[in-house]
Amino acid sequence: MELPTAYNAKEVEDKIYQLWEKSGFFNPDKLPLRHKKPFTIIMPPPNANGSLHIGHALFVTLEDIMIRYQRMKGRKTLWLPGADHAGFETQVVFDKKLEKEGRNRFQIPKDQLYKEILEFTLANKKVMEHQLKKLGASCDWSREKFTLDENIIKVVYETFEKLKKDGLVYKGKKIVNWCTKHQTSLSDVEIKYEERNDPLYFIKYGPLELATVRLETKFGDTAVAVNPKDKRYKDYIGKEIEIETLLGKNKIKVIADEAVDPEFGTGVVKVTPAHDPVDFEIWQRHINEIPEPKQVIDKYGKLNELAGPYQGMKVKEAREKIAEAMAQKGLLDPAKTQLDYKHNVALCYKCGNIIEPMILDNQWFVKMTAKPKSGKLSLRDSAVKAVKGKKIVFIPKRLEKVFLHWMKNLRDWNISRQITWGIPIPGDPSGQVFDTWFSSGQWPFATLKSTEKGDFEKFYPTDVMETGWDILFFWVARMIMLGIYATGEAPFKYVYLHGLVRDKERQKMSKSKGNVIDPLGVVDLYGADALRMALIVGNTPGNDPVIYEEKIKGYRNFATKIWNASRFVLMNLDGYNANIKIQLSAKDKKTIKDFQKTAKEITKEMDEFRFYVASEKIYHYFWHTFCDKIIEEQKPRLYPLSPSGSSGRAKKEKAASQYLLITLLSESLKLLHPFMPFITEEIYQQLPIKNKRDCLMVETWFEK
């Protein structure tokens, strides 16, 4: 048999993918029943607002490895693909697109905007599907779901109704994280904190003095608070003091609250419930003592009419002007101002603009720590119980601690967004949409309840949720909570969390830095198998993997090596008959035994999710044992130089050698297949072996 000396991935890969698709074996229903238990992974649906990046290639590879491995082990494997409309994320991407076109979403009628984003999303979705195939994803396309599919939305609404009935959803007037750029509220996980230096001013409030950064919110003060144990101020508690506000004199009440730290500043705080979450909580605790909150900053981050002459100014400008004016009036002591005061500022995780806490009256919240009417455990507690009871296992284990710690501090979840793109909240006249994570938090059961009949019963709970650790709180936590709440069972048994792909300088990859590796470009150059190996070898769960072109090239070379070793074996099979009994030497037997030992080790690594070790082991075996040693040792047996070359003994030696090579080659290809599916399949198709299957994809994994 003649094969070219270099493996041509480009030619082979599309052909092989078609072969797999045609075989029907992506669909678990088409697989022979060799194992009672199915094996299910619900694919984290990529955001349909761009092309796949290297991080997607990583998750595709990891999940495909698990799926292919389990399929070869005989499980009926379901890998359910999907695409995410990705509400806020896509809205942001689309906003940028509009900006480039000189348009603005706030000037486009809602219906038209929605339609445009839908078209944009569906186009991206199509591109992504093609890209997933390029990477070798052996997922069941017949069950593909989109987060805006009607029957998915139906499930989401059912859960929402259930939560309402259980008293776990409420619509409230509450302080929210408001992004003045995106014009929407955000949940607590969608804000990040950054250390900033700002001036800390010391101002006079009548007889008292207090320290504040946010001078501009003073027009919204409804009280002054001190610690109840602070003896310095005990005579003021419960009394009103007269203060000068720049807009005239005003009376304000002094209250006592534990939240005030007597050590900080003067031990006195101004209370602005409309613009500070801590102050909001103070107000809640003293709701009968102090007046309603007064909003002084509007949705665009500008001061409103309550700020008198400062109306229309942005926060920063107003702050400086107010400081000046107060200093002039002797209400602020500039000598005391701490210019380099370090504190954390809340920012929008997308645009980095400062979050303005703001009270909105039509916000939907999910209670995280309250018991449902129909059950005993809160969303939070049921999830914690499942994790502590090992119903869900984290890989790596240490992230379980991170998860539990986060769960401890949970506050109610704001699920309303003031954007156009997403699933509308039913019964909300203001036209808000759900936080995407509210619907994608239901993804494992929503998908299975809306595909083939009986899928939910067959495949739920799923086996593994594999995703990036950066969305542990955004997504994994919500899936666990909502999954248990809606179905009574944890949605998956294992959570495998991979890291963020970085470049050789350990930098995040981003378009603006120009250090991105386009996975499809790499596939084009070096083949999907090479990229997959480069993404897996040495990549431990929970840690950020590093990828660079040389590494990919290294595994492209490995693909060539596999190719040529196979070529060698196939070229030396003259006279070989798979059905004739072979006499193996003691050394041959030992060689096979060594292989089995290696295969056993690799199997163990696979079972324990250590793909980064398994891949290296099979790599090492194939190249440095099979090629470097075994093949070299067989050469004299395959073409003996002595005149006795045609003797019966020499023929037997040759036959044994051929058997040894073809056996070890085909067995090695099986072990390599989950990692490098294309090249192994292509070679398998040409092997003259006994009991050959339609494809390597459904061969039997090493058993012993």
Partner RNA sequence: GGACGAUUAGCUCAGUUGGCUAGAGCGUCUCACUUACACUGAGAAGGUCGCAGGUUCGAGUCCUGCAUCGUCCACCA
List the one residue out of 231, 192, 186, 155 whose CA is nearest residue 92: 186
Buried b (16+ CB within 10 A) or exposed e, 2-32: ebeeebebeebbeebbeebeeeebbbbeebe
Give the integer Cα–Cα distance in Å for 130 and 244: 67
Task: Compute the Cα dihedral for 446, 451, 455, 457 and give only its sign.
Answer: positive
| Helical (H) or strand (E) element with 124 | helix 110-134
DSSP string, 173-224: EEEEEEETTTTEEE-GGGEEEEEEEEEEEEEEETTEEEEES-GGGGGG--EE
By CB under 7 A, tell whether 107 contacts RNA.
Answer: no
CA distances in angstroms from 390 to 461, 490, 493, 498, listed in the order given: 14, 10, 8, 20
Residues 453-492 that bind RNA (CB under 7 A): 473
**Residue selected from 504, 513, 589, 600 as contacting RNA according to rule CB under 7 A:** 504
Q: What is the DSSP letter of 698?
A: G
- Report in angstroms how near the CB of residue 582 gets to RNA at its nearest: 22
- In the complex with RNA, the residue whose CB is nearer, 78 or 552, is 552
By CB under 7 A, tell whether 213 contacts RNA.
Answer: yes
Give the integer Cα–Cα distance in Å for 492 and 467: 12
By CB under 7 A, tell whether 141 contacts RNA.
Answer: no
Structure tokens at 378: 């809160």
By CB under 7 A, tell whether 316 contacts RNA.
Answer: no
Give the integer Cα–Cα distance in Å for 135 and 118: 26
Structure tokens at 402: 């991170």
- In the complex with RNA, the residue whose CB is nearer, 298 or 544, is 544
Three-class DSSP category at 237: coil
- In the complex with RNA, the residue whose CB is nearer, 557 or 647, is 557
**Residue selected from 1, 259, 287, 351 as contacting RNA according to rule CB under 7 A:** 259
The type of residue at 267 is G
Q: What is the DSSP letter of 628?
A: I
- In the complex with RNA, the residue whose CB is nearer, 631 or 697, is 631
**Residue selected from 398, 587, 597, 651 as contacting RNA according to rule CB under 7 A:** 398
| Helical (H) or strand (E) element with 464 | strand 462-468
> 403, exposed or middle or buried, with CB in 10 Å at 0-12, 13-18, 19+?
buried
Site size toward RNA, by CB under 7 A? 72
By CB under 7 A, tell whether 611 contacts RNA.
Answer: no
- In the complex with RNA, the residue whose CB is nearer, 362 or 540, is 540
Q: Using a CB cutoff of 8 Å and minimum separation of 24, what contacts does 99-104 make? A: none
By CB under 7 A, tell whether 265 contacts RNA.
Answer: yes
- In the complex with RNA, the residue whose CB is nearer, 122 or 213, is 213
Give the integer Cα–Cα distance in Å for 642 and 621: 31
By CB under 7 A, tell whether 60 contacts RNA.
Answer: no
- In the complex with RNA, the residue whose CB is nearer, 212 or 462, is 212
Residues 627-686 that bind RNA (CB under 7 A): 627-628, 631-632, 635
- In the complex with RNA, the residue whose CB is nearer, 318 or 565, is 565
The packing angle between helices 477-487 and 379-388, to 10°, is 100
By CB under 7 A, tell whether 353 contacts RNA.
Answer: no
By CB under 7 A, tell whether 610 contacts RNA.
Answer: yes
- In the complex with RNA, the residue whose CB is nearer, 166 or 616, is 616
**Residue selected from 11, 29, 261, 324 as contacting RNA according to rule CB under 7 A:** 261
By CB under 7 A, tell whether 111 contacts RNA.
Answer: no
**Residue selected from 19, 108, 237, 278 as contacting RNA according to rule CB under 7 A:** 278
- In the complex with RNA, the residue whose CB is nearer, 300 or 406, is 406
By CB under 7 A, tell whether 616 contacts RNA.
Answer: yes
**Residue selected from 104, 151, 328, 344 as contacting RNA according to rule CB under 7 A:** 344
**Residue selected from 193, 207, 353, 510 as contacting RNA according to rule CB under 7 A:** 193
- Report in angstroms how near the CB of residue 442 gets to RNA at its nearest: 22
List the one residue out of 444, 431, 436, 397 whose CA is nearest residue 414: 436
Helix and strand tally (H, E) in the chain?
A: 21, 20
By CB under 7 A, tell whether 613 contacts RNA.
Answer: yes
**Residue selected from 619, 621, 659, 678 as contacting RNA according to rule CB under 7 A:** 619
Task: Compute the Cα dihedral for 312, 316, 317, 318 and give only its sign.
Answer: positive
By CB under 7 A, tell whether 524 contacts RNA.
Answer: no
Phi, psi angles (nearest 5°) of residue 546: -110, 135
Kindly write out the interface string for residues 544-583 of this chain, putting x where it contacts RNA by CB under 7 A and - elsewhere: x-x---xx-xx-xx-xxx--xx-xx--x------------
By CB under 7 A, tell whether 69 contacts RNA.
Answer: no
- Report in angstroms how near the CB of residue 325 gets to RNA at its nearest: 18
By CB under 7 A, tell whether 294 contacts RNA.
Answer: no
By CB under 7 A, tell whether 1 contacts RNA.
Answer: no
- Report in angstroms how near the CB of residue 370 gets to RNA at its nearest: 18
CB 190 within 8 A of CB 252: no
- In the complex with RNA, the residue whose CB is nearer, 5 or 288, is 5
Residues 75-104 that bind RNA (CB under 7 A): none
CB 202 within 8 A of CB 210: yes
CB 574 within 8 A of CB 658: no
**Residue selected from 166, 188, 400, 524 as contacting RNA according to rule CB under 7 A:** 188
Task: Compute the Cα dihedral for 491, 494, 495, 496 and give only its sign.
Answer: negative
By CB under 7 A, tell whether 512 contacts RNA.
Answer: no
Give the integer Cα–Cα distance in Å for 337 and 378: 46
Among 192-200, 295-303, 318-326, 457-465, the segment contacting RNA (CB under 7 A):
192-200
- In the complex with RNA, the residue whose CB is nearer, 10 or 15, is 10
Among 212-220, 327-335, 363-371, 645-653, the segment contacting RNA (CB under 7 A):
212-220
